[in-house]
Amino acid sequence: MAKSNFPTVSMFRFYANSGGILKNPLPFHHENFEKLGDSFRLKIGFGKSVIFSRDAGFAQYALQKNQKNYKKSTIQTVDVAKYVGKGLLTSEGEHWRKQRKLIQPAFHKKQLVQLLNTIQAAILTELNKIETGSAMDIFPVFNDLAFQTVVKSLFSSAVGEKEISRLQYITEATQQMLVKELRQPYLGWWFHLSGSIKYHVGLTRESREILKTLVTKRKSSGKREGDLLDMLLDARYEDGNAMEEEQLIDEILILFTAGHETTSNALTFTAELLARDPDSQDKIADEVEKATQNTNGLFEFIQACPFTKNVIEESMRLYPPAYFIDRVNIEDDEFNGMFIPKNSNLLFSMYEIHRHPDLWEEPERFMPERFADGNLQKHSSHYFPFGAGPRMCIGNNFAMYEMILAITALIKKYRISAESEKIAIHPLITLKPKNAILKFEIR
């Protein structure tokens, strides 16, 4: 196999820019992409390196076409797993395949339709917290909305506000700790010595106990709520057995983590983009009015709002919540003449792929119409808001239904304007908004 090395960024440059990388790594990576091409190797320590790529074909190859030779990195299978357990997001191999097959039916469109009224009720309750007349940061509203939606979809009305608040705090605190560990690996000794990791792992144990109590109450009540918890409790492996309690808790923690943060980020960025585009707001308002008059039920309503869906898709193109996807190749591989030694760490930049000038017309511009009339398929080879291949996000339909219901409800009630020209970002484990200060007026 011909050996062709990736262009390399030295360890010295990495450490020289470590302060900026800790705050926001995207400018550093963009500079390297522009200088070195669509893939490069970054040395991060003695004998340690990461291959960064914005090559959409390479991403599709690793995630889809040759996915059997690529697994998730220890970032997810070890670092994330210590806080959320071995659920769908963090597991690999046969365990992942077994869990995916078990849980997939719970996220089928037919099952999700049963949850739409619960989802809408949670959305409307949270949107009522928006204050009109003065500027406000919209992210906390959407953050609460997304968390409440996941909790109510899982547990219906069986969980109190005290438990919800505590679960939300723990979920967010452990993620912030994880970011510190990943961005500052050279301080690993201090995180252990200071007790920070021990403290946050302890928080995770507390959240597991809260969830176990909720599961035990449901089982002992004998009552069916038709929610995600019922679906997960009903699920059976091929041998007829149900999930063991520890595995069930793992999967619920994954749903909290993956299901609320990515959605709250996407909703905030969508609201920010709409605040700077009054015409798109008016188009959504018109679409909502027609859909309300001409449909029966929420699923029909969602299907009758294609422009709103295009807006959300375009928002996730510009600001993909999962802005990096990581993989490690199991055996030596080659892509386009570039040799990839086994056990190479790869990070695919969805942020860069979604803005690549060779793939998108006016890539920096907000243009929802680029996804109109079935054009989503046209972009499928370079558009990965939910990942790609067999490990594509299992909750993608849930998230899209929730976001369409949230944005339509928001625009039906409010006109939005922005306080600043530029949208600020805060890249952590996911791509988060920063200072999303918007003004709302009753429509």
User: What is the predicted pLDDT for the residue at 3?
Assistant: 56
d(CA 142, CA 130): 10
Q: What is the H or E stretch that residue 273 is in?
A: helix 245-275
Q: Domain residues for 74? A: 54-442
Query: Does the residue 7 lie in any domain?
Result: no
Q: Phi and psi at residue 73, in whole multiples of 5°?
A: -80, 170
User: What is the predicted pLDDT for the residue at 183?
Assistant: 72
Query: Does the residue 46 lie in any domain?
Result: no
Q: What percent of the chain lies above the pLDDT cut of 90?
A: 72
Buried b (16+ CB within 10 A) or exposed e, 176-211: ebbbbbebeeeeeeebeeeeebeebeebbeebbebb
Q: Are 216 and 222 in contact (CB under 8 A)?
A: no
List of the chain residues with pLDDT < 50: 1-2
Query: Does the residue 24 lie in any domain?
Result: no
Phi-psi region of 224 (alpha: psi -120 to 50; beta: other; left: phi over 0): beta
Query: Does the residue 248 lie in any domain?
Result: yes
36, two tokens: 């070195």
- Helix residue spans in 276-376 (DSSP H): 278-294, 298-303, 306-318, 350-353
CA distances from 48 to 109, 183, 328 (A): 43, 15, 13
441, two tokens: 């007026």
| Distance between first and last Cα of the chain | 63
Please name the residue that has the structure tokens 């859909």.
291
Buried b (16+ CB within 10 A) or exposed e, 224-263: eeebbbbbbeebeeeeeeebeeebbbbbbbbbbbbbbbbb
User: What is the predicted pLDDT for the residue at 159?
Assistant: 76
Helix (H, G, I), strand (E, B) or coil at 365: coil
63, two tokens: 């995630």
Q: Are 111 and 231 in contact (CB under 8 A)?
A: yes
Nearest to 407 by CA among 171, 64, 147, 119: 119
Query: Does the residue 16 lie in any domain?
Result: no
Beta-carbon contacts of residue 244 (< 8 Å; ≥ 6 apart): none
Q: Phi and psi at residue 333, in whole multiples of 5°?
A: -145, 170
Please name the residue that has the structure tokens 């790594």.
25
218, two tokens: 């449901």
CA distances from 61 to 37, 50, 70, 335, 406 (A): 18, 18, 10, 8, 34
d(CA 138, CA 439): 9
User: What is the predicted pLDDT for the residue at 385?
Assistant: 95
Query: Does the residue 372 lie in any domain?
Result: yes
Q: Phi and psi at residue 41, in whole multiples of 5°?
A: -105, 130
Q: How many structural domains is the chain composed of? A: 1
Q: Phi and psi at residue 197, in whole multiples of 5°?
A: -65, -45
Residue 342: exposure state from Cβ atoms within 10 A (0-12, 13-18, ≥19): exposed
Write the CATH number for 173.
Answer: 1.10.630.10
User: What is the predicted pLDDT for the residue at 1?
Assistant: 44
Query: Does the residue 11 lie in any domain?
Result: no
What's the whole-model pTM score? 0.93
Query: Does the residue 27 lie in any domain?
Result: no
User: What is the predicted pLDDT for the residue at 19?
Assistant: 83
